[in-house]
Amino acid sequence: MLSGPLSSRWTAYLGLLSALSGAFAPAVAVKEHDFKKCHQSGFCKRNRYFADHALASSSWESPYSIAPESGSFKDGQYQAVILKTINDSGETVRLPLTVSFLESGTARVTVDEEKRQKGEIELRHESKARKERYNEVEQWVIVGGTALDKTAKVDYEDKTQLTVKYGPSSNFEAVIKFSPFTVDFKRDGNTQIKFNDQGLLNIEHWRPKIEKAEPEKKEGEGSEETTEEGKKEEPQGEDESTWWEESFGGNTDTKPRGPESVALDVSFVGYENVYGIPSHTGPLSLKQTRGGDGNYQEPYRLYNADVFEYILDSPMTLYGAIPFMQAHRKDSSVGVLWLNAAETWVDITKGKNSKNPLALGIKSKTSTHTHWISEGGLLDVFVFLGPTPKDLTAKYGELTGTTAMPQEFSLGYHQCRWNYVSDEDVKDVDRKMDKAKMPYDVIWLDIEYTDEKKYFTWDKHGFTDPIGMGKQLDSHGRKLVTIIDPHIKNVDNYPVVAELKSKDLGVKNKEGSIFEGWCWPGSSHWIDAFSPAARQWWSSLFKYDSFKGTMENTWIWNDMNEPSVFNGPETTMPKDNLHYGNWEHRDVHNLNGMTFQNATYHALTSRKSGELRRPFVLTRSFFAGSQRVGAMWTGDNQAEWDHLQASIPMVLSQGISGFPFSGADVGGFFGNPEKELLTRWYQAGAFYPFFRGHAHIDARRREPYLAGEPYSTIIGAALRLRYSLLPSWYTAFRHAHLDGTPIVKPMFYTHPSEEAGFAIDDQFFVGSTGLLAKPVTEKDKESVDIWIPDNEVYYDYFTYNVIPTTKGKPTTLAAPLEKIPLLMRGGHIFPRRDIPRRSSALMQWDDYTLVVTIPKDGKHAEGDLYIDDGDSFDFEKGQYIHRRFVFDGSAESLESVDFEGREQQSVEEGEWMKKIHAVGVDKIVMVGAPASWANKKTVQLQSEGKTWEAKVEFTPAAQGRAAFAVVRKVGVRIGADWKLSFA
């Protein structure tokens, strides 16, 4: 709950809501009735009813069949027509089907509707909307990996079915049955995923509205016929009540195309755990949604919305949607990407396999059945057959793109609140962070920095010298982030809105006029970032000579881009609004946030001629593909312990779903965290890929230096830990950029054979470092039980103590307030920088420390380090260093080689590559050093044709602490090949 007086901004918000249509009552916590449940969403209710009917009937047969004579297979693609039987007299609707087999081993199933495709339908209300099903999601989401597998071949065909073998080793199969239409996806001869196995496929075809005459009423009858129980009788046949229009919260959706939903059941055969489809607040392993003990009653909803003070452990929609789900069982992972940007619901149920009579006597396995329901668009599904979690994220990344290589500063700590009130306030926080010796990289400005909520302006009273503010930050390598939202204030004498209107670049209402709604500025219009002309205009606004007061160290935060419309249905835009190309908003809703972030990202690459730097753009709303253009955060959380707990599975879910540059507001956005909670949240936040403290305008000031002792000292230690490990974080981002690997990895991802770890979502490994973290997320907790996934040795990060462990069992770690539970798994090598600095920029030319965690058997440890200039795109031209470090226990050596096997002379060195020659390895820490090294005083080093010795200090094992050796003043260049010998 909020404390203290409501801010003027918040008061204005509540005033707007109450003054408008009356649809929204002022509130200080999310009211679930402000957002639809399935039974209030016509297409969801219809499809759930359809499923209930189908699953309850022993004689149900899906009315969808392939016309066998329509099918053809060529160059890795099968095309046919599905016939949907629509009545007892056998009338059918034609639905073109394409099944594509891709070189990557991914398969794609697409179903369209011929009548809409050809434009042979009539729109109601003289609508200007497009007649087709929306078919442009691919243009926004898919960036590669769609080349057809021309080696795929038909392995079997008769009048009832077709079997295609495909995949890099031809070990994948798709068995397409014609009547009823089903697809069975197999790997190595075993079924993994089935489409329409339960018969829930439903494509709502176009039909004209037939006005039905009201039956005559007898004298004395009321307006509605009721049963004895007083309930309205259900109409016979299909329920048409939400086909043609639908109202919710005082808003009416005119639905000019009538009912058009698409739905399909996707069964993961033999898989009990499914993950993904962020963003939601429940556990990482998704729950069932049809009731029962501990389960949800509602489907998971994907409909990006401004959900104020969201509730926890809920399938309720949040700010972003990634319709990518993966299923995992022991040593096997598969997944699907549901490529649809309309409102989507996903039901999940689990059950034992019982259909196969040949399985008698064999232990039955649990399968997960999912039911995907979207309001419109194509049925378009990609199928990934694994077999590992890494295969899934790599193939997904090949299709939708991988995480953008971030600016290095963006991995540091970000200090934010709504709002810093002036440029002097910003400079004061900057000075006090330095005085407290607390490193940070970025300070943020929320909407109050603007002149009366007009973006691209500055408040005339508080921010009189933004350039001076920016220069002070820049003097020690720090950055400024300003908020720019998609709603443009509709007011006179504001050139930005005048241009938006004169150039016709805004989202339109259903009549085709510019849409007007309400948001923070009051009356507003919204840029239509689907429009190429709008994006080009948007870029012009960010040029330094246009957005005066910004500098090269200014970056951008995109908020409210779901879009949030205070007087709109469910606090968003009417579905019958129109976007570029006359596509309805219902078709593109979940894409909207991504298109706006994309427009901002590209705007920041062209702020002045000749400047090409990696942009930093934070978004609240996102979709599949958003990872290519920035970072996200989990939205408006609360300063409560359970919100801290919920943040970890939320961040893990983002990572496995292809968008790992994620974090939660440290301390909680709403409310005032107690000091223990704030401290623990900084300790957890130091392990979010995106690490930002943020607070509501009515929250007390809580910059980390204000916490008081011992809290400020402990928070400072967490910040410095983050900064010392920045080289490892940056290296993890390189791997995410290369192949879609998550930054922080849950147990099922790193140890896919260990079933006891599949549902664990409160601990994680960081990149490939072997660092295993389990933040404390409970009040007054001074120990944690951390689950150990293997038989390897684990060392305490801070003390080098050997932790007593048993594979598959939890072990208890002491965790007083000042201690972060952080273990080092044996067999890894990770880099860090040990000199405390005020910002990441000031660390750029510091030497490195390497930490080697010697494994239990003493044989092999490995790790890597990636470095580039942290700012430009020169890394795409080979201007980077990527080293692989290998410890060989039998040879007692440690070696550094190029990670990719590049010859150093093959790269023409630019300015940064030349400058990095001065940076080296200063120190090497060998944790778990063998006792045989006890008498060693020096080690031998070889590099670049030279041989020399360096001093080594050996500390023997004692009182549970492992032996360790420290080699100081190593003297090798970080970019050079070198070898260190202990023999």
- CA dist 414 and 433 (Å) reads 12
At 470 the three-state DSSP class reads helix
At 543 the three-state DSSP class reads coil
The number of beta carbons lying within 10 Å of the beta carbon of residue 128 is: 14
Half-sphere exposure for 1 (CA within 13 Å, toward CB): 3
- Integer-rounded Cα Rg, in Å, for the chain is 29
Phi, then psi, of 884 in degrees rounded to 5: -110, 130
Q: Residue 623: which of 647, 592, 650 has the closest Cα?
A: 592
Pairing verdict, β 487-489 and 522-526: antiparallel
The number of beta carbons lying within 10 Å of the beta carbon of residue 948 is: 13
Helices (H), 629-708: 641-656, 675-685
- CA dist 449 and 549 (Å) reads 11
- CA dist 913 and 942 (Å) reads 22
The DSSP letter of residue 570 is G
Q: Residue 550: which of 598, 615, 505 has the closest Cα?
A: 615
Q: Residue 484: which of 532, 446, 522 has the closest Cα?
A: 446
CA distances in angstroms from 979 to 381, 613, 810, 946, listed in the order given: 50, 35, 38, 11
Three-class DSSP labels, 86-153: CCCCCCEEEEEEEEEEECCCCEEEEECCHHHHCCCCCCCCCCCCCCCCCCCHHHHHCCCCCCECCCCE
Evaluate the omega torsion of the peptide bond into residue 279 and state whether it is cis, within 30 degrees of 0. yes
**Annotation marks residue 504 as catalytic:** no
Q: Residue 204: which of 140, 90, 121, 277 has the closest Cα?
A: 121
Q: Which amino acid is at 308?
A: F
- Retrieve residue 471's tokens: 């220069």
- CA dist 669 and 54 (Å) reads 45
Three-class DSSP labels, 839-877: CCHHHCCCCEEEEEECCCCCCEEEEEEEECCCCECHHHH
- Retrieve residue 968's tokens: 């100081």
Out of 173, 265, 562, 703, pick the active-site residue.
562
Answer for the pair 94, 64: CB distance below 8 angstroms, yes or no.
no
- Retrieve residue 975's tokens: 């970019």
Q: Residue 789: which of 744, 829, 825, 830 has the closest Cα?
A: 825
Answer for the pair 436, 703: CB distance below 8 angstroms, yes or no.
no
Out of 173, 184, 347, 559, pick the active-site residue.
559
Helix (H) or strand (E) holding 80: strand 77-85
- CA dist 847 and 13 (Å) reads 51
Out of 398, 636, 754, 761, pick the active-site residue.
636
**Annotation marks residue 375 as catalytic:** no
**Annotation marks residue 559 as catalytic:** yes
* Residues involved in catalysis: 559, 562, 636
